[in-house]
Amino acid sequence: MELIVGNIAFSTWSLRPWLVLKRCGAAFTVREVSLYGPGYQEQLAKVSPSGKVPLLKVDGETLWDSLAIAVWCAERYPHARLWPADEKARWLARSVTCEMHSSFMGLRSECGMGPDARGVIHTMVGPDRAPPPTGEATLADIRRLVEIFRDMRGRFGARGPYLFGEWSIPDAFFTPVAARFRHYQIDLSAHGDDGVAQAYCDVLLDQSEFHEWTALASR
Ligand SMILES: N[C@@H](CCC(=O)N[C@@H](CS)C(=O)NCC(=O)O)C(=O)O
């Protein structure tokens, strides 16, 4: 099984299924393709039916889209309990995962990862930092994320440090957000946080798997 990812330093979509596969204990190799530079799209088109990464090559098929790969993992590795055991928590875990997958365009565009218009490369993993965002759409996205983190941790967090207590797929989807918040020096207390959302982000950034991903990026 092979996971094809974009640049490990900044491909936020790629980090998600990589974290999920790690939590499954799955044996897989990683192939990194570049998402910038001359001719990169032609190279990408040779491996990717959608022209995007991540992709999972398994059982003679190529699966694409980070959410589809996460759902596939939950089916293939039921022992990994990738969705919360509690029924209501599971419904809401899917809701927040899908919201993360389909929304937050303000944050994504103003706090981009990868090369910006000036050629500066923003990464999830390095010590470099960028100025905080000011756009209204971005600030609304940050407030919504803080609200999700506080709400779910408050309701379901008693069993552990992750969003629904024990680790589940939403944690993979929110890890790149935590890295974006760190890189763009976003002070969550200025956006409705009482400390719960920041503590959750700190847990995500301190996952041993995220440290492993960071080490892969600096190889
Ligand atoms: N919804 C897709 C989005 C994938 C996506 O946008 N991937 C970016 C990389 S982080 C990409 O491949 N971009 C191609 C490009 O930059 O040309 C998913 O979840 O996998």
The rounded Å distance from CA 159 to ligand 1 centre is 33
Rg over alpha carbons for the chain, rounded to the nearest Å, is 17
Looking at the fold, whether 122 and 205 belong to one and the same domain comes out as: yes
Distance CA 180, CA 161 (A): 20
Is the C-beta atom of 35 inside 6 A of ligand 1? yes
219, pLDDT greater than 80:
no
Is any atom of ligand 1 closer than 6 Å to the C-beta of 6?
A: yes
183 and 204 in a single domain? The answer is yes
What's the rounded Cα separation, in Å, for the pair 127 and 207?
Answer: 17
Nearest to 97 by CA among 158, 157, 17: 17
Q: Does residue 57 share a domain with residue 23?
A: yes
Q: How many domains does the chain have?
A: 2
User: Both 115 and 193 in a single domain?
Assistant: yes
Q: Ligand 1 center to residue 182 CA distance, Å? A: 21
Residues 17 and 91 in one domain: no
Distance 215 CA to ligand 1 centre (A): 22
Q: Is the backbone of residue 108 left (phi > 0), alpha (psi -120 to 50) or beta? A: alpha
Domain harbouring 9, CATH code? 3.40.30.10
What is the model's pLDDT at position 188? 98
Q: What is the pLDDT of residues 164-211, one digit of tens each?
A: 999 999 999 999 999 999 999 999 999 999 999 999 999 999 999 999
- Evaluate: CB of 139 within 6 angstroms of ligand 1: no
Residue 103 Cβ inside 6 Å of ligand 1? The answer reads: no
* 154, 196: one domain: yes
Does residue 57 share a domain with residue 37? yes
Ligand 1 test: best mutation among 50, 52, 116, most atoms within 8 Å of CB? Answer: 52
- For helices 169-183 and 136-156, the axis angle rounded to 10 degrees is 140
36 and 7 Cβ atoms separated by less than 8 Å: yes
Closest by Cα among 178, 22, 4 to 100? 178
Q: Is residue 202 within 8 Å of 210, Cβ to Cβ?
A: no
Query: Residue holding tokens 């944690």?
Result: 171
Does 211 lie in the same domain as 114? Answer: yes
Check whether residue 91 and residue 72 sit in a common domain.
no
Same domain (yes/no): 58, 135: no
The CB of 66 under 6 Å from ligand 1? The reply is: yes
Q: What value does the mean pLDDT take over residues 89-105?
A: 98
3-state secondary structure of 163: coil
* pLDDT value at residue 218: 84
| Average pLDDT of the residues of the chain | 97
For residue 139, pLDDT beyond 90:
yes
CA–CA gap between residue 131 and residue 129 (Å, rounded): 7
Q: Where in the sequence is the domain holding 191, given as residue range(s)?
A: 87-217
Q: Tell me how far the alpha carbon of residue 51 lies from the centroid of ligand 1, in angstroms.
A: 8
The Å distance, Cα 113 to ligand 1 centre, comes to 12
72/134 same-domain check: no
- How much distance in Å is there from the Cα of 30 to the middle of ligand 1? 16
pLDDT in tens, 35-48: 999 999 999 999 99
Which CATH number do you get for residue 210? 1.20.1050.10
Q: Last residue of some domain: 80, 100, 121?
A: 80
- Residue 185: what residue type? Q
Of 20, 46, 80, which closes a domain?
80
Do 16 and 58 fall into the same domain?
A: yes
Closest ligand 1 atom number to CA of residue 11: 10
Residue with CA nearest ligand 1 atom 12: 52
Select from 35, 56, 80 the last residue of a domain: 80
- For the CA of 114, the nearest atom of ligand 1: 10
Q: What is the secondary structure of 74-105 as a DSSP string?
A: HHH-GGG--S-SSHHHHHHHHHHHHHHHH--H
- Calculate mean pLDDT across residues 21-40: 96
What's the one-letter identity of residue 193?
A: D
pLDDT band, residue 92 (cuts 50/70/90): very high
Distance 194 CA to ligand 1 centre (A): 33
